[in-house]
Amino acid sequence: MVQIAQKLEEAIFIKRENRFVGIIKLHGVQYKCHILNPGRMIKFLKPGARVLVENRSSPKRKLDYSLLYVKHPKSLILIDSQVPNEIIFEALKKDRIEPLSPVHKIKREVRYGQKNHSRIDFLLNDNIFLEVKATNYEENGVGYFPDAPTSRGKRHLQELIHLVRNNPKNQAVVLFLSQRMDIQKISPFDRIDPEFGNLLRNAKKIGVKVLAYGIQIKKDGKIAVLGKPLLVQI
């Protein structure tokens, strides 16, 4: 169980000033807010969208409000890009991801790769390299990743392929996590980044495990946990 917020308020999204700053209208007053995700999200984070925000005012913050969700007819859409790894971390600690069980040891943000320039999200049992990719883009019940060309995502796949090819003791896993509850399966977004899709298919062929899970959003958005496994269509 991951705590997302203590007190959420509904606001209207006005516009995005840059990747991390937006303007909302709350109780008839406009405020700048922190957008906790640099992704494009142009399909649903657009003027007039209903959003859920939290006042996190602090002497260390420039902006009082953080934008956490966009309200959609079928599901809340989680915006906070830091939450997916926390959800996976909680699930790993409780051995809730069956294909990776049993998990005896968890390390986070471990340097790895051919030049040691990359960081893996999780290193499990000293030999399972787990990379988490979160998606909030949906079309017809399918979640797609990425929603914009991703050089970082392609580099991660290349590193995982290298790990598996060069050491038979290594295991590599890509786990896609949906940030909304109306997704039934996950696919690479070949229309946006065909090279990522080709790398993912190649990675699977040589032994990189590809998993996908949904999310459960509870208590009107205040809490989120790992949901059920989803179909991966690549």
**CA 66/CA 178 separation, integer angstroms:** 21
Which residue in 40, 75, 94 sits closest to 225, CA to CA? 94
Contact 23, 33 (CB under 8 A): yes
Check the CA dihedral 20-47-185-203 and report its sign.
negative
207 sits in the region (left: phi over 0; alpha: psi -120 to 50; else beta) called left
Are the beta carbons of 125 and 105 closer than 8 angstroms? yes
Q: Report yes or no: 192 and 170 within 8 Å, Cβ to Cβ.
A: no
Return per-residue pLDDT of the chain as tens, 234 residues: 899 999 999 999 999 999 999 999 999 999 999 999 988 898 999 999 999 999 999 988 999 999 999 999 999 999 999 999 999 999 999 999 999 999 999 999 998 877 767 899 999 999 999 999 999 999 999 999 999 999 999 999 999 999 999 888 899 999 999 999 999 999 999 999 999 999 999 999 999 999 999 999 999 999 999 999 999 998
Helices (H) and strands (E) in the chain — how many of each? 3, 17
- For residue 83, what is the enclosing H or E element? helix 83-93
Domains of the chain: 2-78 (2.40.50.580), 83-232 (3.40.1350.60)
